[in-house]
Chains A and B, each alone.
Chain A
Amino acid sequence: LTATTFEQVRNIASDIFGVSSEKITAESSPETIENWDSMQHLNLVLAIEEKFGVQLDPEDIEQMKNIGAVAALVDKMQSAAP
């Protein structure tokens, strides 16, 4: 399940940041992706919420420091859902 979540997150990030998905790894972060500024961060959050049907808390959003962390967060939210 983790692999597919990661794949999905990677595809979303590829769309949002305009980077081909092969170039995105779990370690990809604002330091390695040029377009990852605060506005695109918000767009990433919204795209994740919309795609996975979750609502992220401000604390969660702060933890989204790289793509691996985003995928882990989505997994956690989805397994917490009833």
Chain B
Amino acid sequence: MPDPNPNSKTESSSVIALGDRHPFNLRSDVDQLIAKDDRDTALRRLGELWSRDPGSGTASFVISRIEQLREKSGDKLHLAKFKVAILRSFTVEPIVPLLRAEAFAYGIDLKVHVGDFNTYVQDIIDGHGSLYRFSPDAVVLAVRADQAAPELWHNFADLAPDAAQDAAQRVVHSYEQWIGTFRKHSQAALIVHSLEHPALPSLGVLDDQSEAGQSGLIRKVNRELRRIAAGFHGVYTLDYDALVSRHGAEHWHDERKWLTARLPIAAGHLLDMAREWMRFIVPLSGRTAKVLVVDLDNTLWGGVIGEDGMAGIKISAEYPGAAYQALQRTLLDLSRKGILLAICSKNNLDDAMEALETHPGMLVRAKHFAALRINWTDKSQNLREIAQELNVGLDALAFLDDNPFEREQVRAALPEVTVIDLPKNSLEYASAVRNSAVFERLTLSSEDQLRTEMYAAQKERAGAEQNFQSKEDFFRFLEQEAELEPVSELTLARVAQLTQKTNQFNLTTRRYTEPQIAEMAKQPEWNVFSIKVRDRFGDHGLVGVAITHDQTEHCEVDTFLLSCRVIGRTVETALLAHLAESAARRGRKRLVGWFLPTKKNAPARDFYPQHGFEQQESNGTGSMWTLDLPSSTLHSPDWIKLVTAESKSGGKN
């Protein structure tokens, strides 16, 4: 059989060499790299060590070496900082190193504060206590059912039916008070463990015959917890019972450790607890992937299309093709959450497209992919192009490939890309993707759900651009419409999400949570606008945020950001002109704003000077720009239709 890739033989021998590197040798590699001050390679080897041999011992090693690297770099590691506090009714200390090592694998430098044993109520109430002084980004409320609902858990058989209902109600009421009090003191995200069901209910099988049994009432408490959480921004429940069930209650629990060390979770599952917390921490810290780039042969289907042909590749409802259908179903789920799919495969384009378009077993089709790179070029080059085409940073990409050589090569060339380690057995592919926290989302906006279609329209737009003589002709043809609205309940989640995720066209890169945005919107001198953009090809959805703050003489632009999908088409000019006009209408003399440079926001660097702003001051963090409003000539381009609250109500000002 012809070998489609003449290099594959030499590649696979280096794969074996990689696979043979023993975790213990990796440790000495890391120490040598640290001694040589090769920090990037040391971090990569630490990541490899953790993915190869995760556990308590490795976690201690990884953390101690990261501390060394942090010191050597003067606290300038390329990691996102995040602070989490854990309030608890059981021993969590042994989980903390696992959590920090796992966070590191997601590029997060996690600081952890653990509340005292069983003092979670005091911790929440004491507005000046150690919890709030720590100023966490997120707080986990990890209380076990035996503590949160002692009557239901221990004394259920003693309770008359009415008393049992009352007991459940009291539990719900306590949580409602704790959460409400917490929100008064802190805007941090709150992750509440819901209650597990008893593995052996006090009345045996009889318990399940009524909704008012022990399990039934605990289920009721959990339903109420979900309702309470939904009533607050940034409060989420962690389905603890589902977590325990996923791993099996009898394996999850360790009664001996519970009685001797107040540690209820068996040694083998402490990492699973840490990983469940990461499913919240990763999206909260913005380290999520926006695009999943998949390989084709032996990843999306079994076999090699160029060798096995349409009849030979495995993709069907039966084994072994079923494993690949399970992965494809997972991809469709991700796509529904707004995660874009792309293909990067070494293949002949025609072979691959035939399978993608016509193979009867395929659940995903070419239309589900926002970008395709099917060629014989180096994968890291293709990934760079995909990021460019989709207007995202490399750190927004996740990469799925069955070939460990390709994975290692991408890791080395593009350390920003999340590389998912596919297990050897294809039956485990789907769960490997589902278990990765980079695809978790805590809220879902309608934009997220429509994203794939929006990118399809964008492909057409890019085609149209090439047929016009001048940019202005193209802009007129686009028939762009931008709509500015004050932030509302409906748009709050998306607005906060944009401040968290937008890196490139973002003048100040200030990250805000939903509660913080809601708080700002209440202040009369603050204006928080959401920006929607439409054009003849389709609706881009809510793609921008502007936040302004009126002072006596001037109006300051606190935040101005737009998704890269819509910049460069003068929408940004129209919006800035609107901010200037409305500030002038409110009697302000100047519009001022900071540009705070980051590694990624170069596209926004010249935005103020290009629009006639003068530099007023500059310091180590950035430069401040000002526009004199009475003499300003800034105006919205006539090819953009601007829709605002004023224009809708017929111009009340």
Spell out A's residues near B (CB within 8 Å).
Answer: 11-12, 15-16, 18, 39, 42-43, 45-47, 49-51, 53, 55-58, 61
Given contacts A49-B267, A58-B260, contact A43 B61 (CB under 8 A): no
A40 nearest CB neighbor, chain B only: B60
> Is B138 interfacial (CB 8 A cutoff)?
no
Asked if residues A53 and B263 are in contact (CB atoms below 8 Å), the reply is: no
B255 (CB) vs chain A CBs: closest residue: A55
CA distance A43 to B64 in the complex (A): 15
Q: Is the CB of B94 within 8 A of A43?
A: yes
Chain A residue nearest to B58 (CB atoms) is A15
Interface residue SS majority, chain A: helix
Whether A42 lies near B263 (C-beta < 8 A) is yes
Q: Which residue of A lies closest to B97 (CB)?
A: A43
Measured between C-beta atoms, what is the minimum distance from A43 to chain B in Å? Answer: 5
Cβ of B270 under 8 Å from chain A: yes
Q: B56 contacts A46, CB within 8 Å?
A: yes
Q: Given A42-B263, A55-B256: A18 and B93 within 8 A (CB)?
A: no
Bound-state Cα–Cα, A62 to B62, Å = 28
Decide if B64 touches A11 in the complex (CB within 8 Å). Answer: no
Contact partner, B60, options A43, A49, A50, A51, Cβ 8 Å: A43
Least CB distance from A10 to B in Å reads 11
Set of chain A residues within 8 Å of B268, measured between Cβ atoms: 49-50, 53
Whole-angstrom distance from the CB of A73 to the nearest CB of chain B? 15
The minimal Cβ–Cβ distance linking B53 to chain A, given in whole angstroms, is 9
Most buried by A among B60, B64, B266: B60
Chain A contacts for B55, CB-based, 8 A? 47, 50-51
B94 near A16 (CB under 8 angstroms)? no
Q: Mark contacts of B228-266 with chain A using CB atoms, 8 A cut-off: 1 yes-contact digit, 0 otherwise.
A: 000000000000000000000000001010001101001
B57 contacts A by Cβ under 8 Å: yes
What are the 3 closest A-B residue pairs judged by CB atoms, nearest first? A15-B57, A49-B267, A47-B56
Q: Which residues of B contact A58 (CB under 8 A)?
A: 256, 260
Complex Cα distance A12/B267, Å? 14
- Chain B residue at smallest Cβ distance from A47: B56
Q: A46–B24 contact, CB under 8 A? A: no
Among A18, A39, A47, A53, which residue has the most Cβ atoms of chain B within 10 A? A47
Residue of B nearest to A45 (CB): B267
Partner of A16, one of B60, B254, B263: B60
B270 touches A46 (CB 8 A): yes
| Neighbouring B residues of A15 by C-beta, 8 Å | 56-58, 60-61
Nearest CB of A to B122, in Å: 22
Q: Is the CB of A18 within 8 A of B56?
A: no
Q: A46-B56, A58-B256 are in contact. Are A11 and B94 (CB under 8 A)?
A: no
The residues of A that contact B91 with a CB separation of less than 8 Å are 42
**Which residues of chain A come closer than 8 Å to B256, judged between CB atoms?**
55-58
CA of A39 to CA of B94 in the docked complex: distance in angstroms? 8
Contacts of A49 in B (CB 8 A): 266-268
18 further contact pairs, Cβ within 8 A, besides A11-B24, A15-B58: A15-B57, A15-B61, A16-B60, A18-B60, A39-B93, A42-B261, A43-B60, A45-B267, A46-B94, A46-B267, A46-B270, A47-B56, A47-B57, A47-B267, A49-B268, A50-B270, A56-B256, A57-B256
Residue on B nearest A60 in the bound complex, by CB: B256
CA A2 to CA B22, docked complex, whole Å = 20
Given that A42-B94, A43-B94 are known contacts, is A50 also in contact with B56, CB under 8 Å in the complex? yes
Interface positions of B from 397 to 424, Cβ below 8 Å from A: none
Closest Cβ of chain B to A30, distance in Å, is 17
Q: Is the CB–CB distance between B24 and A16 below 8 Å?
A: no
Residues B57 and A12 in contact, CB atoms below 8 Å apart: yes
Distance in Å: Cβ of A42 to nearest Cβ of chain B: 6
Chain B 17-29 near chain A by CB (<8 Å), digits 1 or 0: 0000000100000
- Give the distance to chain B from A8, nearest Cβ to Cβ, in Å: 10
Q: How far is the CA of A58 from the CA of B259 in the complex (A)?
A: 10
What CA separation (Å) do A36 and B55 show in the bound complex?
19
28 contacts between A and B (CB under 8 A): A11-B24, A12-B57, A15-B56, A15-B58, A15-B60, A15-B61, A16-B56, A16-B57, A39-B93, A42-B91, A42-B93, A42-B94, A42-B263, A43-B56, A43-B60, A43-B97, A46-B94, A46-B267, A46-B270, A47-B57, A49-B266, A50-B56, A50-B267, A53-B268, A55-B266, A55-B267, A57-B256, A61-B260
- Chain B residues near A16: list those with CB within 8 A: 56-57, 60
- 0/1 per residue, B534-567, Cβ < 8 Å to A? 0000000000000000000000000000000000
In Å, the complex CA distance between A58 and B91 comes to 16
Tell me, in angstroms, the Cα distance from A61 to B395 when the chains sit together. 45
A18, B57: Cβ atoms closer than 8 Å: no
Closest Cβ of chain A to B413, distance in Å, is 30
Residues in A whose Cβ lies below 8 Å from that of B267: 45-47, 49-50, 55
B304 → A minimal CB distance (Å): 38
B145 to chain A, nearest CB (A): 23
CB distance from A74 to the nearest CB of B (A): 13
Which residues of B (82-101) have their CB < 8 Å from a CB of A? 91, 93-94, 97
The docked-state distance in angstroms from the alpha carbon of A43 to that of B270 is: 11
Shortest CB-to-CB span from B49 to chain A, Å, is 11
Q: Complex: how many Å from CA A44 to CA B56? A: 8
